[in-house]
Amino acid sequence: MLAAVIHDARDVRAEERPDPTILTPGDAVVRVVAACVCGSDLWPYRGVTPVKRPRPIGHELVGVVEELGSEVTSAQVGDFVILPFTMSCGVCQSCRAGYPAACDLVTGFGGKDRDGHPVDGAQGERVRIPLAQHSLFPVGRSEAEIEAAGLVPHLLALADVMSTGYHAAFSAGVSAGDTVVVVGDGAVGLCGVIGARLLGAGRIVAMSRHDDRAALAREFGATDVVAERGADGVAAVRDLLGPSTGSGGTGDLADAALECVGTKESMDTALDVVRGGGRVGFVGVPHLAPELSVRRLFDRNITIGGGMASARHYMETLLPEVLSGTIAPGKVFDLELPLADVAEAYAAMDERRATKVLLRP
Amino acid sequence: MLAAVIHDARDVRAEERPDPTILTPGDAVVRVVAACVCGSDLWPYRGVTPVKRPRPIGHELVGVVEELGSEVTSAQVGDFVILPFTMSCGVCQSCRAGYPAACDLVTGFGGKDRDGHPVDGAQGERVRIPLAQHSLFPVGRSEAEIEAAGLVPHLLALADVMSTGYHAAFSAGVSAGDTVVVVGDGAVGLCGVIGARLLGAGRIVAMSRHDDRAALAREFGATDVVAERGADGVAAVRDLLGPSTGSGGTGDLADAALECVGTKESMDTALDVVRGGGRVGFVGVPHLAPELSVRRLFDRNITIGGGMASARHYMETLLPEVLSGTIAPGKVFDLELPLADVAEAYAAMDERRATKVLLRP
């Protein structure tokens, strides 16, 4: 089969690899209908994370079940399924608490499973899925229906980017009437706008300096856009929210902020843009934001939470919203390419010619 | 009047100071009925925080209003009041959001107010209270009634230690049925047990190695006590909570932890003792825990929040619980001394001969 393999920085190739097979009774094999490139795939692509040896890449896919191990009863051959970007057991304490991303047996794509077997990347024609019983998420509609309804991009978004945006809003404790600032206008930030809206935010300020992304943020529910960054961005938010009725004289700040980038600057902005007692949800992989001052949280009573989204858990909330047409997160895909052109997919995202690229095997 | 002044490490004296007077129309003067020594007062006493020049000390008091500035209408002369350990305006965004500890004009005891006037310490016979309109919290009973009912210690606890323990539990998002670990068996940790119980925790594990404090923790609502610390303490919690029904094989962890000490070790324990997706509330002043790894939060999806408690806000919840006898946080006071013996009060707490000392002017 054809699958994407990253060999080194800026060297991703579509190449032939062995077809996956069932290796344990808990496995499934899924034929990939669509996959995509994640902002976090750009870390190794850009050389920020070293690529020690060639490995299959990609962790977002929707597809059709082709084979099932003898212990898997949660789906049937032929089912159209979404895969969360991490596989999980469904029974450990973290899974039961709604945090399968922190599963005791958490297993990612492109590495090895807990039995030591290699796990395929999601950017390929087929993928072996370990921990399939809990990880397969059947949509309940046929492939033909889904394709005819144009649902593929929206369902694919639930595999990671929409779930991650929702996790940012959930982790920031967004609730009815909150004023929320979304830091980052990438695909995750845009989905964070959707997440904040689903959780009832009254006002959503998207920090964006790209007209096309700002327009999509507004379509997704942003009420305001601020183009400035850093301290200027915080000042612009204060101006926007208006002078406080209290004694400070300056403008108000947000109740919550979603940190959807993962750099020190974006984290600083998220922390500075919330009021005393405010909340920050962070989902940007913190490659460049290693340390946080406890004192800084203490002095302003800020709560911070986040991490890898428990996509498998959020799908239960988000799938009905997609099927009813309430949300259309697949609009973050602004380029679709055949899997064979995966190198161009990475280049387009790296050069910001595309927000997020959908790949068709 | 007599008031406590810290001159240097291990040098606190009760000495004569000028009687306070009304300096602005927003002031009040309160006659102190009882004050006390806080764990955070021990930082300068132990020389951890340098004492640059002699200054009045103490930030917890209950008393009776003696004089009111012309703008103060929230209390009357003769009212028995509790003072939160920080004064606040009540109208700025943070105050309106329920976080007066992060007030735009937040003002502490023993320093200067926003007008540059000195503010007395709480360990004295009388105190001028700036921002009195919002900061005075009338109890609604007379001094004689309160003394007769033995309520003074319980009301005094609301000024800081009980509110701070409650804030730890609130910041950890404790909700019905949660399993909660309380790290720290000082007065704040003990009040954290009460806070967790009020918020509906199903199981409360107090980490304590002192028999008397462990006994009080149980009286306050702790269901279990663990004496071990650090990694041994985490292992003991796992043993106590029992093997997971999931796939991990080891025991479960807590849903939430309250960090009530403020050291690196206690923060590490709090972070390690919660499950994936768990929550940490921290109220220990972080003198010794300066930095937190964002990656560590990210990898286990931990939410952390806390800081100075908004005592003024929590009093609205906690006062009825004290008056109804549901909680008795004043039991953390295990020594009562006259103000003149303030040096002995500090020494007793420093040497752990007392958990918390109540001072009577």
pLDDT at B304: 96
Residue B304, CA atoms < 13 Å, CB-side half-sphere: 30
How are the residues of chain A apportioned to helix, strand and coil, as percentages rounded to the nearest 5? 35, 25, 40
* Contacts for B287 with CB less than 8 Å, ≥ 6 apart: B43, B48, B49, B262
Contact across the interface for B301 and A292, Cβ inside 8 Å: no
A155-177 exposure pattern, b = at least 16 Cβ within 10 A, e = fewer: bbbbbbbbbbbbbbbbbbbbeee
Cα–Cα dist B36/A238, whole Å? 40
Closest in A95, A252, A290 to B293, CB measured:
A290
pLDDT at B285: 73
Contact across the interface for A93 and B276, Cβ inside 8 Å: yes
B287: pLDDT strictly greater than 70:
no
Cα–Cα dist B124/B111, whole Å? 14
Find the closest chain B residue to A303 by CA distance.
B305
Residue with tokens 């594990």: B205
Find the closest chain B residue to A282 by CA distance.
B298
Summary count for chain B: helices (H), strands (E): 13, 19
Q: H or E element: which one contains B231?
A: helix B230-241
Residue with tokens 């327009």: A215
Distance from CA of B18 to the nearest CA of A (A): 30
pLDDT tens-place string over residues A181-225: 999 999 999 999 999 999 999 999 999 999 999 999 999 999 999
**CB distance A224 to A240 below 8 Å:** yes
Query: Given pLDDT bands bounded at 50, 70 and 90, which one contains residue B295?
Result: confident
Distance from CA of B91 to the nearest CA of A (A): 4
Distance from CA of B141 to the nearest CA of A (A): 31
Q: Which of B197-201, B221-225, B296-300 has the lowest mean pLDDT?
A: B296-300
pLDDT at B118: 96
Percent pLDDT > 90 in chain A is 91
* Contacts for A61 with CB less than 8 Å, ≥ 6 apart: A30, A32, A33, A34, A35, A83, A122, A123, A127, A156, A159
Mean per-residue pLDDT over chain B, rounded: 95
Closest in A96, A294, A297 to B246, CB measured:
A96
pLDDT tens-place string over residues A294-338: 888 999 999 999 999 999 999 999 999 999 999 999 999 999 999
pLDDT tens-place string over residues A32-74: 999 999 999 999 999 988 999 999 999 999 999 999 999 999 9
Amino acid code (one letter) for B286: P
Contact across the interface for B301 and A245, Cβ inside 8 Å: no
How large is the average pLDDT for residues A256-280? Answer: 94
Inter-chain Cβ pairs, chain A and chain B, closer than 8 A = 185
Distance from CA of B270 to the nearest CA of A (A): 14
DSSP string for residues in A121-148: -SSBSEEEESSHHHH-EE-SS-HHHHHH
Q: In chain A, what residues touch B96 (CB-CB under 8 Å)?
A: 245-246
- Paired tokens of B208: 């304590």
- Paired tokens of B259: 């960090």
Find the closest chain A residue to B291 by CA distance.
A293
Maximal CA-CA distance, chain A: 68
Cα–Cα dist A177/B93, whole Å? 15
- Residue B175 CA to its chain's centroid (Å): 21
Contact across the interface for B102 and A244, Cβ inside 8 Å: no
Find the closest chain B residue to A100 by CA distance.
B276
Closest in B93, B171, B275 to A244, CB measured:
B93
Q: Give which of B268, B238, B235 is closest to B253, Cα–Cα.
A: B238
Find the closest chain B residue to A167 by CA distance.
B301
Q: All domains of chain B, ordered by start, with CATH?
A: 2-160+310-360 (3.90.180.10), 162-306 (3.40.50.720)
pLDDT at B247: 47
pLDDT tens-place string over residues A73-122: 999 999 999 999 999 999 999 999 999 999 999 999 999 999 999 999 99
Q: Phi-psi region for residue A301, left (φ > 0), alpha (ψ -120 to 50) or beta? A: left
Amino acid code (one letter) for A222: A
A189-217 exposure pattern, b = at least 16 Cβ within 10 A, e = fewer: bbbbbbbbbbbebebbbbbbeeeebbebb
Q: Give which of A260, A307, A277, A271 is closest to A101, Cα–Cα.
A: A307
Distance from CA of B17 to the nearest CA of A (A): 31
Contact across the interface for B97 and A277, Cβ inside 8 Å: yes
Q: Give which of A39, A41, A19, A43 is closest to A31, Cα–Cα.
A: A19
- H helices within chain A, ranges in order? 42-45, 93-96, 132-135, 143-148, 152-158, 161-171, 187-198, 211-220, 230-241, 264-272, 294-300, 311-323, 342-350
pLDDT at A244: 66
pLDDT at B292: 85
Closest in A104, A294, A310 to B248, CB measured:
A104
Find the closest chain B residue to A262 by CA distance.
B294
- CA torsion, ordered A18, A23, A27, A30, to nearest 10 deg: 20
Amino acid code (one letter) for A25: P
ipTM of the prediction: 0.93
Beta bridge mates, B292: A292
DSSP string for residues in B12-78: EEEEE-PPP---STT-EEEEEEEEE--GGGHHHHTTSS---S-EE----EEEEEEEE-TT--SS-TT
Q: In chain A, what residues touch B97 (CB-CB under 8 Å)?
A: 255, 275-277
Contact across the interface for A282 and B294, Cβ inside 8 Å: yes
**CB distance A71 to A130 below 8 Å:** no
Closest in A246, A292, A307 to B300, CB measured:
A307
